[in-house]
Amino acid sequence: MDFRYSTAADAPRTDCLVLPLPEGDAALRVIAALPPAVRNQVERARKDGDFTGKLGTTQLLLLGADGEAPAPRVLLVGTGKNEASDKALKKIIGAVYSGLKGTTAASAQLDLAHLPGALAAQPLAERVVRFGEDALYRMDQCKGEAAQAKITPPKLSSLILTGAAAEAAAIERGIAQGKATAAGIKLAKDLANLPGNLCTPTYLAETAEQLAAELPIATRILEQSDMEALGMGALLSVAKGSRQPPKFIIMEYRNGPDDAKPIALVGKGLTFDAGGISIKPAGKMDEMKFDMCGGATVFGAIKAAALLKLPINLVGLVPASENLPDGAANKPGDIVTSMAGITIEVLNTDAEGRLILCDALTYAEKFHAPEMCIDFATLTGACVVALGHPASGLFSNDDPLAEALLKAGTDTADRAWRLPLWEEYDDQLFSDFADIPNIATRGAGEAGAIVAAMFLQRFAKNMRWAHLDIAASSWVGKKATGRPVAMVTQFLVDQAAK
Ligand code: BES
Ligand code: MN
Ligand code: ZN
């Protein structure tokens, strides 16, 4: 999709004018300013009750090629009571694209000033672009040939966003960020939606190499033998139960001052989580192909940052493995030694995310000495219970970092909610035989998302660190959301502006 800014006066003629309108008399001001050919039709649609302005509804008006009409079609989109919520705006923008998809229009025009809410022009343009790419997203590559042949690609290929000339720069920045973020989200979704037999650790490594070929990103892959040499005993213990070789993916994007420490992004790249010997129940186990969404977030965010040419230094680390039951797999009670030298009693082989992440955190600290380190992981079912889909769970040992992430989430409608890391929770991590167990041994069953974060914190003591538990936000139903790529991209944009 091509998105472009224009003033209303200079906008080229498109196939469809998109006209968001509220319910009732609030619409009169906008209607009064319309060219007569459009105004008459809109008034008739309202009078006949074909269009009420109810939130998220659409009505297509066909004006034909002739006359003074600004476009052959006008798509009315209901904005309801013009309330300023993220939810309402998302519904309206979604309706714009589903309405457009229902026409044969290849190009369309939308005036940002017609969208309700209090958002400034830049974040508004960013959302219109990002939600648009989202609405047009499909994943058909696994359908058979006959089914693929029947798919008609959407006609819509260009959207002109109009706004006041004074807003031109802000809108253009919003469009650029929206496009880059959408490209990152698409990559994250494609990887996540791909099944476990295709999206393996090796596939993730190849994807990282491909990113390096496309963008100024340097990729390096650590193989099992490299991980052995580094003493990544926790990560390797998870991979032992799988026939797929583990990969430790390192992606570097350097466009900041040479001496500036990088921001490290670490993502759980567990390409399928059957639970290991502590095997999961069969129901919904297919969804554990999404257990690499943290890694996908890192891929997406680095891609977006590189597309935006942000003047920062970034390093992305993705420990990638499967977690399967096997004769060689971790057994409950096994004790492994992490790269940090901390010994871990694996009381539940299904708490594997923290095992692969702890070695990645140690690697980040030891080899990249980052300015700050943020990890992303589909870590706990408990986080799904605590927050549900609207929010990612945020944990941090650094208040300004936590605040900056929360703000970026609010600014992009890709929100997180902070949970505590109080010392009291640490008491739950007691092991009779090792330094630390991988699950709670005291107060077991309580505060599972926090206990998992407490575990990770042990390996991030010397860094400004934040952890995002994206178990609920990164996929909904059977579909990846691409979250929290938008939040991270916004965070990186904010960091670059500092
Ligand atoms: N990948 C899962 C977490 C998960 C489960 C995310 C369901 C989304 C939906 C993780 O590896 C896991 O299995 N965690 C266990 C931890 C428990 C054994 C302490 C969990 O949450 O049940
Ligand atoms: Mn698990
Ligand atoms: Zn997992």
pLDDT in tens, 302-315: 999 999 999 999 99
Nearest atom within ligand 1 for CA of residue 452: 19
Query: In the structure encoding, which two tokens stand for residue 478, read together?
Result: 């059977």
Residue 379: CB partners within 8 Å, gap ≥ 6?
A: 268, 294, 353, 354, 357, 449, 452, 453, 467, 469, 471
Tell me if 291 CB under 6 Å of ligand 1: yes
Whether residue 115 has pLDDT greater than 70:
yes
Cβ neighbourhood burial of 146 (10 Å; 0-12, 13-18, 19+) = exposed
Q: How far is the CA of 409 from the centre of ligand 3 (A)?
A: 24
pLDDT reported for residue 253: 98
Q: What percent of the chain has pLDDT over 90?
A: 97
Number of other CB atoms surrounding residue 76 within 10 Å: 26
Q: How far is the CA of 277 from the centre of ligand 1 (A)?
A: 14
Which residue has its alpha carbon closest to ligand 1 atom 5? 381
Nearest atom within ligand 1 for CA of residue 381: 21
Confidence of residue 68 (pLDDT cuts 50, 70, 90): confident
Domain 182-497 has CATH 3.40.630.10: yes
What average pLDDT does range 107-126 have in this prediction?
97
What average pLDDT does range 59-70 have in this prediction?
84
Tell me if 15 CB under 6 Å of ligand 1: no
User: Among all chains, which residue has been given the structure tokens 């703000």?
Assistant: 407
Whether residue 66 has pLDDT greater than 70:
no
Tell me if 378 CB under 6 Å of ligand 1: yes
pLDDT reported for residue 64: 84
Tell me if 382 CB under 6 Å of ligand 1: yes
The class (CATH top level) of 2-163 is alpha beta
Residue boundaries of the structural domains of the chain: 2-163, 182-497
Crossing angle of the two packed helices 168-193 and 485-496, in degrees rounded to 10: 140
Which residue has its alpha carbon closest to ligand 1 atom 13? 350
What average pLDDT does range 108-120 have in this prediction?
96
Ligand 1 pocket test, candidate residues 350, 450, 470, most atoms within 8 A of CB: 350
Tell me if 428 CB under 6 Å of ligand 1: no
Nearest atom within ligand 1 for CA of residue 380: 21
Q: How far is the CA of 80 from the centre of ligand 1 (A)?
A: 40
Which residue has its alpha carbon closest to ligand 1 atom 16? 351
pLDDT reported for residue 20: 98
Tell me if 447 CB under 6 Å of ligand 1: no
pLDDT reported for residue 125: 98
- Rounded CA gap, 83 and 347, in Å? 50
Q: How far is the CA of 358 from the centre of ligand 3 (A)?
A: 14
Ligand 1 pocket test, candidate residues 354, 356, 380, 425, most atoms within 8 A of CB: 380
Whether residue 67 has pLDDT greater than 70:
no
- Across all residues in the chain, what is the average pLDDT? 97
- Rounded CA gap, 233 and 246, in Å? 12
Active-site residues, by number, are: 280, 354
Q: How far is the CA of 364 from the centre of ligand 3 (A)?
A: 21
Which residue has its alpha carbon closest to ligand 1 atom 17? 351
Crossing angle of the two packed helices 168-193 and 293-307, in degrees rounded to 10: 150
The per-type count for the chain, helices as H runs and strands as E runs, is: 16, 20
Number of other CB atoms surrounding residue 78 within 10 Å: 21
What's the predicted TM-score (pTM) here? 0.98
pLDDT reported for residue 397: 98
Tell me if 381 CB under 6 Å of ligand 1: yes
pLDDT reported for residue 329: 98
pLDDT digit string (tens) for 224-246?
999 999 999 999 999 999 999 99
Tell me if 294 CB under 6 Å of ligand 1: no
Tell me if 158 CB under 6 Å of ligand 1: no
Nearest atom within ligand 1 for CA of residue 270: 1
